[in-house]
Structure 1
Amino acid sequence: MSKFPGLRLFVVSVIVSFGGSFHFGYQLVITNPSQSAFLAFLNSSFASNYGSTLDVTKAETIWSVIVAILFVGAIVGSLSLELVGEKLGRKRGMYLSFTITTIAVAASMVSFFINSFELYSVSRVLTGYSLGLSLGLIALYLNESSPKECRGFVSMMVGVMVQFGTVIGSILAMPSIFGTTNDWWHIYLVECIIVLFVLLALPFMPESPGYLMLCGDETAARKSILFFRCYKPDEVDAVLHEIKENLKQNAKALSVFQVWNQRQTRKGTIVGMAISLSMAFSGIAVINAYAVEILKESGLSLSAASIGNIILSAVSLLAIVMSSFTVDRYGRRPLILISNWAILLLNVTIVSLMYCFNKFHYSWIGYTLVAIISLFIIFFAIGPGPLCYFITAEMVGQSAKAAAQSWASFTQMSSRALVLAIYLPIANQIGQAFAYLSLFIAPTAIGLIFLYFNMPETKNKNHNEVLEAVTNLPSVSKILRPKSAAVEPHDFVASNDFSCAVEKF
């Protein structure tokens, strides 16, 4: 079997990712280089509606909440993933989420013309809801439609499109293009056109074979497999047999609460949530949302900081495209562990550079910071960045995929919302360096340790093989045990301290 998808599956993965993950990346950064324009809009709208102006501190506090409120909607969208994904299906669920995205983006444009920051805030919540829902649905759709030999490559398209969205958003939101007081609504016009194109293309794609088999429609599932994979009849039969065996072990779709009742699904869900949590608290949320401000605070001009932000987004896109070709070669576990270790070291370096600039004001520190953050983004893009969008679905059975992915998305969105809501107020009180230190060093270190002992390899594995990989994970007692000591099977299972600790949840 090829490690690369056929043309049809590749095109489908690009189109559906354009409908959801592209917009997620786009929304992450458009408020960054154009922040001055949005603050002017906020002040103008507040003065017009309430007859008073905001001082700088209040305006920045309100704005940080408006930025973070995107993820409040995304939290709700994540929690509704299991309901929508199982009741409507993956494809019809995407119809719903993309339609809501269109309505929300249109509301953002209308808020400009009626000068209402309240409507803009509502549009952010709606946008967040649609993105939280669509990210999970796309991950499920691609995971269930891809052969396991190239599942990682196809699923990485979600992450690739997130980063492509950050590049396009960073460019269009620059003050020299659309990031001005009079033109920022064009940013949303571009987004609206893209999502309408995806909605027009969606009718030509079938439902995922995994969901069709879950509904008992084997004929439609067979057609779906032939559409995505161009298999021979006997190969299609083998795929259907594997799906049936998986469904026998996981006969009924589990709700977001039922995944906690079974040890296997609970463990996979917790590990998926841990990956999302370590991703959100790696510092990437702040870099996406406030990179321009961070670079300005480190000595760069607004134009230089905006260009630096584009460079960071472009580096991220290049890195994640390259990682698409390595994820099915080197596996998920080594990419996560190596990248998280590098991110931890780079975060310490970022804090040190921020502190040195505050103390000595050397002009070269800002440019050095761009280089270090570029390295940070490279390691983020080959590890937790793209993998967090689909790794959870690989660690659980068919019946638990939607619910487990829902919890992983919920963790990511709630963590991002928390980080973005508290970062600016903390930075204003204790400075950028200490705010970054207090929020992102310890969580990255703890996440690295937890994942080392609990994350199995899922590359080219079906559900039963993933469960077997879990039993071979390292543990503290195994590491400390003398090599000559014999290990009985029951002792091995009992010795997996960290795994057992999680399984007692």
Structure 2
Amino acid sequence: MPRYLTLLLECPLVIAAIFVTGIGGTFQYGFSISVMTSPSDFIKELVNKTCLHRYNVSLDESQVSLIWSITVSIFCLGGLLGSLVAGPLITKFGRKRCLLVNNLLAIIGAVLMLFSQTAMSFEMIMVGRLVYGISSGVSLSAHPIYLVECTPKRLRVMVGVTIASFISLGKFSGQLLGISELLGTEERWPWLLGFIGSTALLQLSTLPFLPESPRFLLLDRGDHQACEKALRRLWGNKDYSIEVEEMLQEKVALQNVRSHSVMELIQNQSVRWQLITIIFTFTALQLCGINAVYFYSFEVFRAAGIQEHQLRYTALGTGLCEFATSIGCFMTIENTGKRVLLLRGYAGMSATLILLTITLYLQTHISWMPYCSMVLIFIFIFFFSSGPAGATAPLPGEIFTQSFKSAGYTIACTINWTGLFVLGMVFPILVEKLDYFCFLIFLFFCALCGLYVRFNVPETKNQTALEIAAEFQKMHSKPGEPQREINMKQKVNSIQTYETKL
């Protein structure tokens, strides 16, 4: 058994935190992304029935498609709203309390979904999707921060991968429950859309048994005793004195420094490269082409001879591949490091996109070429879920100090939701105009982010935020200038820590 996995098994409450926060956190985000595919025809039918019953008007296909597009994309607008309010809420009320209250939003959205067909109201689905989006926007910030701060430093990178694993599990669960043998029927589809309510209830009933984040208790609340009590519960009898000392050193460095706003983070020069890193990695996460690959998977499967009624079951393989690979990433990331996984992931994705474009171009000329495209789709998913998917999500919580952390997640999630919304609006146009050559656009973003990580991002494994800040400074110091490092016992720039020459 891998050494880091053995260390994790010695912290059973951390394992419980992984599952409790995950099922009510990023799982809901992944589920909401994939769940709308299966009941699309039933929802469109409900739109027509509602307008006919209420207004005695029969909508044409373009009007129904417009309402359907709004219903799907309004989730992103809700997510953007949730991400904007998440930072201040997490800082003021704490990570755990924010997650608890957030479950109430998910339950409200689930109730609206469940009764939408009975009430003959497609507007309830739209409002429910908006509420789901707000809930997901908050949980995408609160879940990573809480989980990373509850984990020992040497396991932090490994545990951070589970954030993406629950996104993958949510996507796969949405695909699986959406098949006709389960909830993807005309009678049961409201239960499919309202399934998130059950995961919210599960977290609401179990999260109170877990402690608040130790870092929040010490650095934001100044409660040393509560911090040690939380660490004792989470880590058992392990020696956590080093972690406490590092937190105390950061507390001294950040003494009398409040949590910074998003604008203050943008204007602060001392964390400029950390901010640029977040912008590059989270932009590439949405524009790397994973959604395009999923979209074209149906076309490739059709060309490979898979029957139309079997496509949905074949698509389950792509979701299962992403989830299984994220689990493999969870097992290996502590030995390889986050920077290596990002580099390997974007390099592999870039090469795969080139080959996929070529095979899609040739699939009408060579009979066996669709099978090559099918293999490349699974290879692309492998590189994505074993690299960027697992390594990007917890990044703001690792490279920013406590005073910048909430603002960092707010910016990261805003980029994520904006990218998802823009891609949802623009992608159909790209496909119509460029067909499979749209992969060349995604290739550009993959290659650009890979090059940025190669030359501008240090390894974050087993390092504190202040140590990572020093590494960023070393990498980007101008030639001829003396290199500097940030001393954790002093204060520099806007976070009031002094700098000492090497």
Which TM-score tier does this pair reach, normalised by the shorter chain? 0.7 to 0.9
Task: Determine the structure 2 residue equivalent to 1:501.
Answer: none
Distance 1:443 1:419, change over 3 A: same
Task: Determine the structure 1 residue equivalent to 2:274.
Answer: 268
Match of 2:433 among 430, 433, 436: 430
Rounded to whole Å, the distance in 1 between the matches of 2:484 and 2:251 is 29
1:26-45 CA-partner distances (Å, limit 9, x unpaired): 11111224433333333433
Rounded to whole Å, the distance in 2 between the matches of 1:296 and 1:108 is 32
Moved more, 155-164 or 174-183: 174-183
AA at the equivalent of 1:83: P
Task: Determine the structure 1 residue equivalent to 2:230.
Answer: 224
Task: Determine the structure 1 residue equivalent to 2:149.
Answer: 144
The reply on whether 1:70 has 2:75 as its aligned counterpart is yes
Rounded to whole Å, the distance in 2 between the matches of 1:100 and 1:354 is 43
AA at the equivalent of 1:275: T
Look up the SS of the partner of 2:198 in the other structure: helix
Give unpaired runs (5+ residues) of structure 1: 478-486, 494-505
C-alpha contact 2:300 2:370 (8 A) present in aligned 1: no
Look up the SS of the partner of 2:184 in the other structure: coil
Task: Determine the structure 1 residue equivalent to 2:308.
Answer: 302
Task: Determine the structure 2 residue equivalent to 1:279.
Answer: 285
For residues 306-317 of structure 1, the aligned pairs below 5 Å read 306-317=312-323
Give the deviation of 1:211 after TM superposition. Answer: 0.5
For residues 13-412 of structure 1, the aligned pairs below 5 Å read 13-213=18-218, 214-232=220-238, 235-250=239-254, 251-287=257-293, 292=298, 295=301, 300-357=306-363, 359-360=364-365, 366-412=370-416
Compute the TM-score of the two structures, normalised by the length of structure 2: 0.87
AA at the equivalent of 2:251: L
The percent of aligned pairs where both chains have the same amino acid is 22
Task: Determine the structure 2 residue equivalent to 1:502.
Answer: none
Look up the SS of the partner of 2:164 in the other structure: helix
C-alpha contact 2:29 2:167 (8 A) present in aligned 1: yes
Rounded to whole Å, the distance in 2 between the matches of 1:228 and 1:301 is 50
1:251-282 CA-partner distances (Å, limit 9, x unpaired): 32112222123223332122122111101001
AA at the equivalent of 1:20: G
RMSD, aligned α-carbons:
2.7
Task: Determine the structure 1 residue equivalent to 2:451.
Answer: 449
AA at the equivalent of 2:428: L
1:138-164 CA-partner distances (Å, limit 9, x unpaired): 100011111110001212111111111
Give the deviation of 1:488 after TM superposition. Answer: 4.6
For residues 415-494 of structure 1, the aligned pairs below 5 Å read 415-427=419-431, 429-430=432-433, 432-438=435-441, 440-473=442-475, 488-490=480-482
Rounded to whole Å, the distance in 2 between the matches of 1:173 and 1:119 is 20
Rounded to whole Å, the distance in 2 between the matches of 1:45 and 1:367 is 44
Task: Determine the structure 2 residue equivalent to 1:499.
Answer: none
1:298-344 CA-partner distances (Å, limit 9, x unpaired): 86433332122100011111100010122111111110011011112
Give the deviation of 1:296 after TM superposition. Answer: 5.1
Moved more, 208-217 or 367-376: 367-376
Rounded to whole Å, the distance in 2 between the matches of 1:263 and 1:86 is 22
Rounded to whole Å, the distance in 2 between the matches of 1:352 and 1:53 is 44
C-alpha contact 1:68 1:418 (8 A) present in aligned 2: no
Look up the SS of the partner of 1:180 in the other structure: coil
Look up the SS of the partner of 1:149 in the other structure: helix
Rounded to whole Å, the distance in 1 between the matches of 2:102 and 2:300 is 33
Give unpaired runs (5+ residues) of structure 2: 486-502
Give the deviation of 1:413 after TM superposition. Answer: 1.2
1:434-463 CA-partner distances (Å, limit 9, x unpaired): 44444x222222222223222221111012
Rounded to whole Å, the distance in 2 between the matches of 1:195 and 1:415 is 26
Look up the SS of the partner of 2:115 in the other structure: helix
Rounded to whole Å, the distance in 2 between the matches of 1:45 and 1:356 is 46
Rounded to whole Å, the distance in 2 between the matches of 1:348 and 1:7 is 44
AA at the equivalent of 2:451: I
